[in-house]
Chains A and B, each alone.
Chain A
Amino acid sequence: MKYGAIAILPLAFGAAIYGFAFGLLAAQVGFPWWGVGLMSATVHAGSSQIVAVEQFASTQTVVGAALAGAALNLRYIGIVASLSDVLAGLSLKTKLLAIHITGDENWALTMAERAKSRDIGAAFLIGSGLVMITVWTTSTTAGAIIGTALPDLERFGLGFAFTAAFIAMARGLWRGRPQIVPWLVAAVVTMIFMSFGTPRAYAIVAGTLCGLGVSSIQRRISGETS
């Protein structure tokens, strides 16, 4: 466990900077610092939190904002599934703790280290996960405390920081050329719906669904030709 906790430190440092920036933004759109800390400890998913906070601030829709954020975390179905060997033999309580504290960074490090040595397992995952959730909760809370104390930064373009964060997330989710058409369709449909006065939350759902539809058609065509 100690080895995992030490090995994750360089990655935890990167997460701390991101966490601080997120906390700052969340405080600026009205979340109290302890609410940010509570969210980080109970949700423990960076991209989900930033999407939910931004959506709530801009659309004021509670369920829509939370579900949009949660959808960003769907990849965890695959991530947690890939841990079945690592978690085998643990009690249910320990398994539930382990999957909650698993994030992208400590999951990737555990899998990479396990590929080198089969001695790396649940203890490494849990040790590194405990460091990650502690660093994430602390850094987001610290960012929110500073963000609460600062004046309204919107006029300096802080609101655009959300857009920039989404652009960076899209870059991280880019998997190659087959995504071009579905992504373009999603963007254009969202813009069309918003131009006709559709509320933002619904326009995003419409864009996403049209993108999924195009992706499905693409898959069918490539399946027929291959």
Chain B
Amino acid sequence: MTGDHWAVIAILAVAAFSIRVLGLVAGGRISASRYAWVLDQLPGLIVVSLVASSLVGEPTQTWVAAVAALCAAILTNHVVATMIVGVTAFAGLTYLAL
């Protein structure tokens, strides 16, 4: 494990715990503030941007597999089920394309 791996774990651990502590000391005030909507919206927007960035420049089979995963996500709302459907679709499409 490189120094960078350690750093990712350390920064993420400190940041995640700080967020929890922030909730403990000021959660009530933050939730009632006029900027509370930012906390609600931010995770969804980051995840959507992540999906978009994963699909840019990818071949058609990746996009089709993404649609399959999206259908699975809508139907099941389950992370592991969506991953299984997505990866199976991706592997199947890649195999057919070869």
Contact = CB atoms under 8 A, between A and B. Distances in A.
Interface of A: 17-18, 21, 30-32, 34-35, 38-39, 42-45, 47-49, 51-56, 60, 62-63, 65-82, 84, 87, 95-96, 99-100, 102, 156-158, 160-175, 179, 182-183, 186-191, 194-195, 200, 203-204, 207-208, 211-212, 215, 219
B interface SS class? helix
Size category, B interface:
35 or more
B20 A74 contact: no
A182 B49 CA distance: 11
14 contacts: A31-B1, A67-B11, A71-B43, A75-B39, A80-B22, A99-B21, A167-B82, A168-B69, A168-B79, A186-B52, A187-B48, A189-B49, A191-B55, A211-B48
Interface centre among B39, B53, B86, by most chain A C-beta atoms within 10 angstroms, is B53
A160 B1 CA distance: 24
Q: Which 8 A-B pairs have the closest CB atoms?
A: A81-B27, A164-B86, A80-B23, A70-B15, A168-B82, A66-B11, A207-B49, A171-B73
B9 A38 contact: yes
A44 B20 CA distance: 11
B43 to A, nearest CB: 5
A78 B31 contact: yes
Contacts of A162: 54
Given A32-B1, A35-B9, A100-B17, A171 B49 contact: no
B91 A194 contact: no
Interface centre among A67, A171, A188, by most chain B C-beta atoms within 10 angstroms, is A171
Nearest to B70: A167
Contact of A170 (B1, B13, B73): B73
A44 B16 contact: yes
A39 B42 contact: no
Given A72-B47, A157-B91, 20 more contacts: A18-B79, A62-B4, A69-B16, A74-B39, A77-B19, A77-B23, A84-B28, A99-B24, A163-B54, A164-B83, A168-B77, A168-B78, A168-B81, A171-B73, A182-B45, A191-B55, A204-B49, A207-B52, A208-B42, A211-B41
Interface in B1-38: 1, 4-9, 11-13, 15-17, 19-24, 26-28, 30-31, 37-38
Contacts of A48: 12, 16
A71 B86 CA distance: 25
Nearest to A65: B8
Contacts of B19: 70, 73-74, 76-77
B56 A194 contact: yes
